[in-house]
Amino acid sequence: MSGGKTWPRQKREIDAYNAFLSAYPARNSDQGFLDEGYRLTNFFPTINNSFTETAVEPDFSLYDGETLILSEVKQGNNIEPRDVEQAKRLDSVSIDAAEEYIDKIDVQGRFGLSGDVLSIEPLLYYDNLDSDYVEKCRNEWENCREQLVELEEYCPVLGREGDQTLQLLAGELDSDHLQDWLETGVEMAETPRVTVTMTDGLEIESIAVSICRVWGERAVSEPVTVGVSELRTHFNYRDLEPGRVKSAFDLLNDLGACNRTQKREVEFTPGHMPKILNIEQLISDRSGDSNQEDLDEFF
């Protein structure tokens, strides 16, 4: 890891997640996923799938009692070869695998939904992709066209049209209803609620920020402690190595946002609150002028 330099990129990834989620209970529209009957069942689920060698790991899953939407969220607008690979994997999830997954997450108790899965709709959302770009990609840039054509074969592509409309820009959904609805689009929030603060790659800065958002914020009246094991349980969706958690603890400690009480534990007190709340800025400041970093070096 490169000492905080990657935070601006992590933040863009997190912003993309939260932008997408702002189309779920869409405050500015009565056409959000929730209004359409979908429930956000999980952040970062793991779906064991017999058609792929390893588990399939979308960013979010949504379910309405019949259809399971598996969505992958990307910052920027650049269609990468690995996106095509991801789309292919999402598209390969079988009904059996989907039902097995749905069984684990108590959709009956939480939402009163049956555990049946009749269809699966994978989709990719790019936070900075619009119809102009898709048109140029398709008609003018040959490399881009190749990726796009391959991608849309597996998975419909959504982007941000205008300032803040989540819209279908390429490819097709199996369901005509979903197709019509996403062609019309969903108004997202101008300033999305900060719901997710973790990156898919579980980078140290994003772990540190997430620790503040969940445990730090609980220290409103009394000290709150959190240890490595509890964190690994909370973020059990990906293999969170103990060493990374400890690095995140070190980072928070360096920034004065907690006390390091034991080797594998930190303590937040109400006195830490100004730093806990300002952790994003503190980490941004630390990463200095990394805005100029080259995006591509990370892919």
Partner 1 sequence: MNIEPSDIQSSDTRDVVLDLISEVTKSGEDMEEKETRGDKTTDLKLYIVDSSEDLQGRFSEAGLDVAEDENTKKAARDFFQHVVIKEESVNEDITFLKVTTPRYERTDEAIVIDSGDALWFLTTELKEWLEDTIEKVIKYLPQLERVYLPSEDLEDSMRGIVDSEIAGFTAEYHSQHKDRDATLQFHGAEKGDLATAEDAFSATPTRIEFNQKNSPTTAIQGSGSNDGFAKLESVRKGSEGKAADTLLNISERFVEQDTEQFKVNADTGWKLLEPGFVVDEFTSIELHSPEREEADFLDEELEDEVLSKNRYQYGRWGEDTFFVYDKEHEEVFELGIESTELVLHARESTTALSLRSFCRTILDTFDSTYSVRKEETRVKAQ
Shortest distance, position 280 Cβ to partner 1, whole Å? 5
Which runs of consecutive H residues, i.e. helices, occur in the chain? 7-21, 81-91, 95-104, 107-111, 131-139, 142-154, 176-184, 204-214, 228-234, 242-254, 273-277, 279-286
Q: Which is nearer to partner 1, 15 or 150 (CB)?
A: 15
Q: How many CB atoms lie within 10 A of CB 283?
A: 24
Which residues from 108-167 bind partner 1, rule CB under 8 A?
108-113
160, 128 in Cβ contact below 8 A? yes
The residue range among 64-72, 102-110, 127-135, 152-160 that interacts with partner 1, by the rule CB under 8 A, is 102-110
| Residue 47 DSSP code | B
Residue of the chain from 30, 66, 106, 285 that contacts partner 1 (CB under 8 A)? 106
Per-residue x/- track, 248-277, partner 1 (CB under 8 A): ----------------------x--xxxxx
Residue type, 41: T
Shortest distance, position 263 Cβ to partner 1, whole Å? 24
Per-residue x/- track, 13-52, partner 1 (CB under 8 A): --x---------x-x------x----xxxxxxxxx-----
* 280 forms part of the interface with partner 1 (CB under 8 A): yes
Q: Which is nearer to partner 1, 33 or 125 (CB)?
A: 33
Residue type, 113: L
56 closest CA partner among 47, 64, 65: 47
Per-residue x/- track, 187-226, partner 1 (CB under 8 A): --xxxxxxx------------------x--xx-xx-----
Report the alpha-carbon distance of residue 193 to residue 23 in Å, rounded: 11
Q: Which is nearer to partner 1, 55 or 149 (CB)?
A: 55
Pairing of strands 119-126, 67-74: parallel
Report the alpha-carbon distance of residue 118 to residue 67 in Å, rounded: 6
Q: Which is nearer to partner 1, 101 or 133 (CB)?
A: 101
* 64 forms part of the interface with partner 1 (CB under 8 A): no
How far CA 57 is from CA of 72, 122, 185, 201, in Å, comes to 9, 12, 25, 11
Residue numbers of the site for partner 1 (CB under 8 A)?
A: 11, 15, 25, 27, 34, 39-47, 101, 104-106, 108-113, 189-195, 214, 217-218, 220-221, 233-237, 270, 273-281
